[in-house]
Amino acid sequence: MFEGKVAVITGASRGIGRAIALALAQRGAKVVLAARDRERLEAVRKEADTLGAQALVVPGDLRREESVEALRQHTLNAFGTVDIVVNNAGVGKYGSILDFTPADYDWIMDTNMRVSFLVTRAFLPPLLQKGTGDLVFVASVAGLKGLPQEAVYCASKFAQVGFAQALDHELRPKGIRVSVVAPGGVNTEFAWGTGRTPGDPHLNAFLRPEEVAEAVVFALSQPPHARAFLIGLRPMVEPL
C-alpha cells in the first residue's frame, strides 16, 4: 500500500509510534524511527527488518533543534526524499494545576508542541518540493475538549490541533494533506510515573496502540482527492 514511500515517525521507540512504524513497514514503507532511546529504536528496527522493510534509526531529543536537523539530514541522505511525517512523540502528566511546576509545563509543551513545530518545519521543504505528501498529528481527545486533571496536557494538545488546522489552510492548496488522529486512553507506557501506574488493570480496557496505528493507516490511504482530517477514537470505558 505504501511501497516506496518514506515515512518519518517521531516517538517510534515504543507505544503508538512503534505500532505506527510497524503498520507502515508492513505495508511497504521505508520507516525512519526517531526518539531518544537508541536501544528501543534498534529493537523496532529489527521488527521492521523481519517484515522486510528498510528502517533507519535516528536517536535524539527532538526538543533540540540540532536533533531535528540531524533527523532531516539522515533521512534525506539515506532515502533521498520524504512522503509521510507522523508527529507522534508526546508526554503527559495528570494532576491538579497546583502540582505542576514550570519545568513540568515546559516538558509537556515542548515535547507535544515544539517538537511538532520543529519536525514539521524541517520536513516541509522536501514535501513542498514534491507537491504531495502527508503530515499526521497524533493528538488526543484532550486536544478537543478540556478534561479534569489535564490542564497543561490539554493546552499542549489543543495547541497541536490548532497548529494542524491552521497548517491545513496553508498546505492543502500545495498538495500536502494534514490529518489529526485523536485517541482517548491507549494502553502504553504513557504517563507512567506521572499519573498512570504500570500494571494498573484499568489500562487493560484502553485502546491498543495497534488500533490507533490502523486509524493512521486509514488517513494515509485515502485517495488523492480526499482526506480524513480528524479521526476520534475512544475505548468503550470512556464517555464521549
Q: Does residue 238 belong to the site contacting ligand NAP (CB under 6 A)?
A: no
Q: Does residue 72 belong to the site contacting ligand NAP (CB under 6 A)?
A: no
Closer CB to ligand NAP, residue 128 or residue 217? 217
CB of 53 to ligand NAP, least distance (A): 18
Q: Which of 33, 62, 127, 176: binder of ligand NAP (CB under 6 A)?
A: 62
Binding mask 174-213 for ligand NAP (x = CB under 6 A): ---------x-xx-xxx-----------------------
Among 221, 218, 223, which residue's Cα sits nearest to residue 232? 218
Q: Does residue 215 belong to the site contacting ligand NAP (CB under 6 A)?
A: no
CB of 132 to ligand NAP, least distance (A): 25
Examine the residue annotation and report whether 153 is marked as an active-site residue of this protein. Answer: yes
Binding mask 10-29 for ligand NAP (x = CB under 6 A): xx-xxxxx------------
